[in-house]
Amino acid sequence: MSSVKKVVLAYSGGLDTSVIVKWLQETYNCEVVTFTADLGQGEEVEPARAKAVAMGIKEIYIDDLREEFVRDFVFPMFRANAIYEGEYLLGTSIARPLIAKRLIEIANETGADAISHGATGKGNDQIRFELGAYALKPGVQVIAPWREWDLTSRETLMDYCKEHDIPVDYSKAEKKSPYSMDANLLHISYEGDILEDPWAEAEDDMWRWSVSPEEAPDKPTYIELSYEKGDIVAIDGKAMSPATVLEYLNKVGGDNGIGRLDIVENRYVGMKSRGCYETPGGTIMMKAHRAIESITLDREAAHLKDSIMPKYAELVYNGYWWSPEREMMQVMIDKSQEVVNGDVRLKLYKGGVSVVGRRSEDSLFDEKIATFEDDAGAYDQKDAAGFIKLNALRMRIAAKKGRTFV
């Protein structure tokens, strides 16, 4: 007899998690609590309630987490300028620690013994969910059905639904996109089907948030982003909440063909995976944030941030958001952002984002020193000679000893 009496399931209301509800009830003879998160995925989440009720679920959580997601997860990550393997803006990765956090909170509220998720045993999400869960509740039991059951395809899942009278719209399930997709306010991802061949070009009608650069307007769009302590607080002079900022940038970016990405990445489980991503708002945010930092951050502070960024991004990608090392790095990053205030003007045009202006009361750019015109003695060019000789000293000594490299 199972020791698990109650399980909190991350529930979308789709085919996979609907099967998981019934499978948990039958396999573990337990009560299931469903949790559905609205992270701005662009799909109605409320129908999940009706589906859960139809399956006999008594405790149903449907939470609007959009503001928390952007404020407490996306914005801190963008303060770090985090990019995984030089390209990926971590759209799926950054949503998982919030889902794990809420799963544990609900488990504590309802007295559940375990949590469950629909991530497969081949992917990164199982790691992200479970590392987060264990960090927040060390003794929690995690049930991952894809690592336990013998259901291996959409067809077997649909057969299971028919056998167990699970309410599923079969016509919709059969017409489902051939791609495995994940969406939230930061991005939408596509994997599977023809994308499993890294030589095959993605079909243009696959993309949902953006027009192709070729079809984008022939006239550029200009926008102005205002920053306070590294976060965007207004667009074109209008104050906006974190989630509203990202919603707006997704729209204006998508309209201008911005944010499409096609990469092969290294999963934490060891395999390479080809994926396509749409991140219009995030692409704009990354460009603009580096621009405002370029005039407000001290050189060595900026370079130190850049040096730790790959490690920070790797921690987020691999599921270590709740680790002490990520939190330590965040403290340093956030300290650097105290002076990252001001405005950035951008030009959006046919898939490209160009910085065309930046200004700040905290700017370290000194026109009197940087000018190519007469600087009225603000910078003594003769000082450069000694500076260069001192920095060349070790190389001059080595060269005298014959240690040349030509």
**Residues forming a β-bridge with 355:** 346
38-55 per-position pLDDT tens digit:
999 988 788 889 999 988
Reported in sequence order, the residue ranges of 193-327 that DSSP labels E, i.e. its strands, are: 221-228, 231-235, 238-239, 260-266, 272-278
Q: Is 72 known to be catalytic?
A: no
Task: Give the Cα separation of 333 and 188 in Å (integer).
Answer: 27
Q: Is 96 known to be catalytic?
A: yes
Active-site residue, from 66, 79, 96, 260:
96
Provide φ and ψ at 277, rounded to 5°.
Answer: -135, 145
What three-state secondary structure class fits 213? helix
pLDDT, averaged across the chain: 94
Residue 364: CB partners within 8 Å, gap ≥ 6?
295, 296, 297, 298
Structure-token match 């953006």, residue found: 210
The whole-model pTM stands at 0.94
| Torsion sign across C-alpha atoms 364, 367, 370, 375 | negative
279-316 per-position pLDDT tens digit:
999 999 999 999 999 999 999 999 999 999 999 999 99
What three-state secondary structure class fits 295? helix
Q: Is 16 known to be catalytic?
A: yes
Active-site residue, from 16, 63, 193, 343:
16
Active-site residue, from 71, 180, 334, 345:
180
Q: Are strands 231-235 and 238-239 parallel, antiparallel or unpaired?
A: antiparallel
Q: Is 374 known to be catalytic?
A: no
Domains of the chain: 6-67+90-176 (3.40.50.620), 183-297+340-359 (3.90.1260.10), 369-400 (no CATH)
Active-site residue, from 38, 125, 182, 231:
125
319-365 per-position pLDDT tens digit:
999 999 999 999 999 999 999 999 999 999 999 999 999 999 999 99
